[in-house]
Amino acid sequence: MSNWPSIDVLVKQVKSGQVSAKDLVDKAFSFIDKNRHFNVLISELKEQAYARATEIDNKIKNGQDVGRLAGIPFIAKDNFLTFDGYTTAGSNMLRNFKAPYQATSITRLLDEGAILVGKANLDAFAHGASTENSDFMITKNPFNETRVAGGSSGGSAAAVALDMAPFSLGSDTGGSIRTPASFCNVVGIKPSYGLVSRSGVVAMASSLDVIGPLTNNVSDGALILDVMSGPDQLDSTMIEKDKDGYGNFEPLKDLKGVKIGVLNDLMNEGLNDKIKIRTQEVIDSLKKLGAEIVDISIPSIDLSLAVYYIVCPAEVSSNLSRYDGIRYGHHDDSAVDLEDYYLKSRSEGFGAEAKRRIMIGTYVLSSGYYDAYYKKAQQVRTKLINEFKQAFSAVDFLVSPVSPDLPFKIGEKTDDPLKMYLSDVMTVAANLTGIPAISLPVGMIDDLPVGFQIMAPFKADRQLLQVSEIVERQFK
Ligand code: GLN
């Protein structure tokens, strides 16, 4: 159980003067101080947070409007550009980088009175599933310090699990919100592609990247999504938000008339037996609530990981080309000429995983291999999109586990990148197809948290949240 009440309760308390924004910042830092050894935050923004709190408390005293998130502390993954502090993306390349502009999502939250208290650890450039690729430190799992917190938004998930703030932000290119959410026992929402502006979030793979909240419960996540979503002129790929928004749905009494498809293709080999059993128990509870459960097959889903690990590195190699050591980021001034300058700056600034992805990406895009790899992958991606559309013509939601494993031991997968990539087998399809997906905590197995994934049709984020809320109630 979290030490924080729900965000709407907190906001009421702040607005009524029952607690001050400063009290909430005190509370956030008491948990940050207590849990520093979990390696969660790359930077703490104490001074700035207290200054903001004073500003908000003064406004309240003067009867001014303070917004829908008045005084609520939050933590952003360190790939969100912020005016306060540094933005490192977890990489040596950006270790001392001061952002010249701010992510739209951050600005929207601040405009509603939220208070940024820290920036969370991540796999460098969000490449990974465990935060072990961070150039700063490895975030430990809040439930067992010998295990990983998941990734790449491991710091963000652990921050909420350790009560450092009532919510945090993550980015999800292939599972990076959902996997750490499931490893840390929090709710992680990956919205539809384009629902939240990507402006000001360090680009990983632009056709897959989405950003979303990590929270203690579904309704907190829904409120944060409501504040962040909606068109932004700085991101031309955006979609309209639901006309009813996301923060105010009616709680469902049951699931009568709701059709739920089980992705059996994801429930086979490689899945931890105990997770399989727990997933089945959750499905049984949906049935008890009146849902109609059917088996659904997505014939191409077993290709999704292969497609992801072609499309993603292709886009990564392109996005990382901007780090030339000249415009910004790490640079090595001992270079003798321009080529040497690029070579030295990039060799020193990027870690092994970024280099691996640059090589794979450049390879699959090169003229001799483009047709065999990149083009083929895009064709299968289109097929996958169509198969999901077809599935959603028969059911309202699809469900599966989030991860094939429980939080694994630190170091267990680091010497074999393919093992690490396999962690993403259940999550990447939602990114390739752009659909919304959520990870919900569904209890513990062997004292470690486990999550349950629900996916909905593109743009059906509101419906996804509504059904998630009733599922959540079964496990409280
Ligand atoms: N684990 C996946 C990868 O390494 C997903 C990363 C992400 O979603 N940012 O690519």
pLDDT at position 268: 82
Ligand 1 centre from 7 Cα, in Å?
Answer: 29
Helix 21-34 to helix 46-61 angle (10° resolution) is 160
Ligand 1 centre from 10 Cα, in Å?
Answer: 33
* Ligand 1 neighbour 126 (Cβ under 6 A): yes
Spatial contact of 92 and 135, defined as CB atoms under 8 Å apart: yes
* Ligand 1 neighbour 220 (Cβ under 6 A): no
- Ligand 1: which of 315, 424, 432 to mutate, most ligand atoms within 8 Å of CB? 424
Tens of pLDDT, residue by residue over 290-315, are 999 999 999 999 999 999 999 999 99
Q: Which atom of ligand 1 is nearest to the CA of 309?
A: 10
Task: Tell me the H-state helices in 62-146.
Answer: 104-111
Tens of pLDDT, residue by residue over 325-359, are 998 899 998 999 999 999 999 999 999 999 999 99
Spatial contact of 131 and 156, defined as CB atoms under 8 Å apart: no
pTM greater than 0.95 (yes/no): yes
What domains can be seen in the chain, in order of their start residue? 1-476 (3.90.1300.10)
Clarify whether 98 is annotated catalytic: no
End-to-end CA distance of the chain: 9
Ligand 1 centre from 207 Cα, in Å?
Answer: 13
- Ligand 1: which of 127, 130, 204 to mutate, most ligand atoms within 8 Å of CB? 127
* Ligand 1 neighbour 176 (Cβ under 6 A): yes
Q: Which atom of ligand 1 is nearest to the CA of 175?
A: 8
Ligand 1 centre from 244 Cα, in Å?
Answer: 31
* Ligand 1 neighbour 175 (Cβ under 6 A): yes
Clarify whether 77 is annotated catalytic: yes
Ligand 1 centre from 53 Cα, in Å?
Answer: 34
Distances, alpha carbon 359 to alpha carbons 127, 220, 448, in Å:
14, 40, 36
Spatial contact of 6 and 220, defined as CB atoms under 8 Å apart: yes
The length of the chain is 476
Tens of pLDDT, residue by residue over 180-208, are 999 999 999 999 999 999 999 999 999 99
Clarify whether 152 is annotated catalytic: yes
Q: From the candidates 156, 168, 176, 317, which is the catalytic residue?
A: 176
Provide the CA 318 distance to its chain's centre, in angstroms: 22
Confidence of residue 462 (pLDDT cuts 50, 70, 90): very high
- Cα angle value 338/339/343 (rounded, 5°): 120
Confidence of residue 89 (pLDDT cuts 50, 70, 90): very high
Confidence of residue 1 (pLDDT cuts 50, 70, 90): confident
